[in-house]
Amino acid sequence: MHPFMTQALALAQQSLTLSAPNPHVGCVIASADGQLLGQGFTQHAGGAHAEIMALRDAQAQGRSVLGATAYVTLEPCSHQGRTGPCCDALIQAGIAKVVASIADPNPRVAGQGFDRLRAAGITLEIGPGADVSRELNIGFFSRMIRQRPWVRLKIAASLDGKTALVNGASQWITGEAARADGHAWRARACAVLTGIGTVLHDNPQLDVRLVATERQPHLVVLDSTLRTPLDAKLFQTKRKLLVYTASGDEGKVAALQERGAQIIVLPDGNGKVDLAALLHDLARCEINDLHVEAGQQLNGALIGANLVDEFIVYLAPKLIGQGAEMARFGPLDELSAATKLEFKSIEKIGADLRILARVTGHDAF
């Protein structure tokens, strides 16, 4: 892979906590003789895309991009969204060649950006860095292709798989480094999901505090009967708060709305929230990556419904014995019915282990 594409992919990583719901994209513009002219990555929603940032960088340094090559990690957009079409900006700037990692799965683009570039006489090379770019944007690809977010479930547990003592105490099973790493994963998500049980028992904020971020993820609460306390800590951070419920209690709805929550009624017919419908609704709300931090009941419900795509599990070097489980579902009748996982990475974070495991086949879209 060309060093400039490697550099563009590194730039794309810098937008992980910034560009949502837009994809994470990097762009490097280089001259025909291999000189770096400009570079950039996609900014916050409504801000400049990677290609525009790279063009501005070159202009700010007085460097002409006429006849240059643009290395970009996703197909330049061809539609008018929050910003103008990037393919038109590259054409107008006189770019001679575009090297792109992968086509944009957004139906409003989906090859049309490439078509516009070809029609303008620009040489195209497609494919370098495709796997890396897709992985960086797996939530965006999921939303565009499956019409649901990529669901990543985070668990902190002891080595014997317990997330809390019998009396409910859980602070802190894992160490400070693992907690900060967990906040970094929160920061890159579009939204954090929890259940009413966690809200009532732990009264968490579920915002990003332990790492720097320019954007707080939205918060999603599953609350079938609208028991969310009006003085809960989750109201302390200014961000979008979505409460999904099966209740139509007008008084409770009005009270939560007064506190700034958006209430979405999605019953499943059994007095609970329809989880599959919830994910499709979150996709409608432009949620790419959904980070789940919940208790054993909601974790089990999501796993049992085959709605979790990936797990981040922090294991502490301690044994607890009896206590709360990672997830409660089943029982299964046979081992062949078990959720099959692929270990993507195992790293030591402080004194703890972080295991990233993906549900087999869930990324085949």
In b/e form, how buried is each residue of 90-120, taking b as 16+ CB within 10 angstroms? Answer: bbebebebbbbbbbbbbeebeebbbebbeee
- Is 51 catalytic? The answer is yes
Cβ atoms within 10 Å of 64's Cβ, excluding its own: 12
For residue 81, give both structure tokens. Answer: 């969204």
Q: Which of 51, 75, 293, 310 is catalytic?
A: 51
- Report how far Cα 105 is from the mean position of its chain's Cα atoms: 16
Check if the beta carbon of residue 207 is closer than 8 Å to that of residue 237.
yes
CA–CA dist 309, 153 (Å, integer): 8
* Angle CA 157–159–161, to nearest 5: 50
Check if the beta carbon of residue 163 is closer than 8 Å to that of residue 322.
no
- Picking from 146, 141, 150, 71, the residue whose alpha carbon sits closest to that of residue 110 is 141
Residues marked as catalytic: 51
